């Protein structure tokens, strides 16, 4: 994948990644001390599923997350650089779970913090390689007539396996034709027109991507106290 041949990468990805499958809940062993992240809808934990290290996403309740669950299950936004759903358990209950690829390099924010502090990182991707991957997954999402809706540095995960960088949180992905205004995305990297109550479209995704590119360049959150002190 270092050759960055877009078509070749898609062929390889299709060959090695299976379709989403339904998994028995008893096959998922969650490490409750290994929480990888959390949000308004639930949390992600390190887990074991059928002798493979995975990430398990749990939800607080099915009723609160109908949109995200249906989007993840029926997502047409297939891309080698989007995090793959391995399987789903307890889909029609109050405790659904998604089994996802485990990304051992953590999120891009943590990676950049280590680079800035001259610490050892799990992965050794160049900033150009990471930017190329994000640009390609955005191109794939927009090609399918959708918008990601929450492009940010924390939603880019890294892995040493198969030379991968992945964009996550596709549960926020929506059809471009859908009318969307405020309440979307993350405040500090949301496009000005959206903050003013305007429509969230492809342009807003690109604005957020530009914010990520700036973070890749300066290794800090733009306009933050730390970035001002470093000037």
C-alpha to C-alpha distance for 164 and 145, rounded to whole angstroms: 24
Residue 62 or 54, more confident: 54
Confidence of residue 223 (pLDDT cuts 50, 70, 90): confident
140-164 pLDDT, tens digit per residue, is 889 888 888 889 998 899 998 855 6
Give me the pLDDT at residue 148, please.
Answer: 86
Look up the pTM and report it: 0.80
Percentage of the residues of the chain whose pLDDT score is greater than 90: 34
- DSSP calls for 172-188: G-EETTS---SS-S-GG
Query: Any idea which of 71-85, 146-160, 190-204 has the lowest mean pLDDT?
Result: 71-85
- Residue 150 annotated as catalytic: yes
Give me the pLDDT at residue 17, please.
Answer: 60
201-214 pLDDT, tens digit per residue, is 899 999 999 999 99
Radius of gyration of the chain (CA): 18
CA–chain centroid gap for 200, Å, is 19
Element (H, E) at 78: none
Give me the pLDDT at residue 112, please.
Answer: 95
CB–CB of 181/103 below 8 Å?
no
Is 57 annotated as belonging to a binding site?
A: yes
Percentage of the residues of the chain whose pLDDT score is greater than 70: 70
pLDDT at 186 over 90: no
Give me the pLDDT at residue 172, please.
Answer: 60
Domains 6-101 and 108-224 share a fold: no
Confidence of residue 67 (pLDDT cuts 50, 70, 90): low
C-alpha to C-alpha distance for 204 and 52, rounded to whole angstroms: 37
Q: Which of 107, 150, 169, 205 is catalytic?
A: 150
Find all residues with CB under 8 Å of 199, minimum gap 6, and list them.
179, 180, 181, 193
Give me the pLDDT at residue 228, please.
Answer: 47
C-alpha to C-alpha distance for 59 and 75, rounded to whole angstroms: 18
- The ranges assigned to domains in the chain are 6-101, 108-224
The 8-class DSSP code of residue 107 comes to B
Element (H, E) at 97: strand 97-101
CB–CB of 205/178 below 8 Å?
no
Give me the pLDDT at residue 63, please.
Answer: 46
User: Mean pLDDT, to the nearest integer, of 68-74?
Assistant: 53
C-alpha to C-alpha distance for 224 and 71, rounded to whole angstroms: 33
Give φ, ψ of 176 to 5 degrees. Answer: -60, -35
Which range among 68-72, 104-108, 184-188 has the greatest average pLDDT?
104-108
103-135 pLDDT, tens digit per residue, is 999 999 999 999 999 999 999 889 999 999 899
Q: At the top level of CATH, which class does the domain 6-101 belong to?
A: alpha beta
| Answer CATH for 108-224 from 3.40.47.10, 3.40.50.620, 3.40.50.2300, 1.10.510.10 | 1.10.510.10
């Amino acid at each position: 994948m270092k050759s960055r041949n877009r078509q070749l990468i898609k062929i390889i990805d299709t060959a090695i990644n299976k379709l989403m499958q339904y998994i028995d809940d008893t096959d998922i062993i969650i490490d409750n001390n290994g929480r990888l992240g959390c949000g308004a809808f639930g949390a992600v934990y390190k887990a074991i599923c059928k002798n493979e290290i995975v990430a398990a996403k749990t939800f607080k309740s099915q009723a609160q997350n109908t949109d995200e669950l249906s989007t993840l299950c029926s997502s047409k936004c297939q891309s080698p650089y989007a995090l793959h759903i391995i399987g789903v358990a307890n889909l029609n209950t109050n405790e659904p779970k998604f089994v996802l690829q485990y990304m051992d390099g953590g999120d891009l924010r943590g990676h950049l913090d280590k680079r800035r502090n001259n610490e050892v990182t799990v992965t050794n991707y160049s900033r150009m390689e990471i930017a190329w991957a994000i640009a390609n997954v955005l191109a794939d999402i927009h090609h399918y007539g959708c918008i990601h809706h929450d492009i940010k540095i924390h939603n880019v995960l890294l892995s040493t396996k198969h030379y991968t960088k992945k964009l996550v949180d596709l549960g926020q992905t929506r059809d471009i034709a859908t009318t969307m205004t405020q309440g979307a995305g993350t405040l500090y990297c949301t496009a000005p027109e959206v903050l003013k109550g305007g429509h969230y479209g492809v342009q807003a995704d690109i604005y957020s991507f530009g914010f990520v590119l700036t973070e890749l360049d300066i290794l800090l959150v733009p306009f933050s106290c730390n970035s001002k002190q470093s000037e």
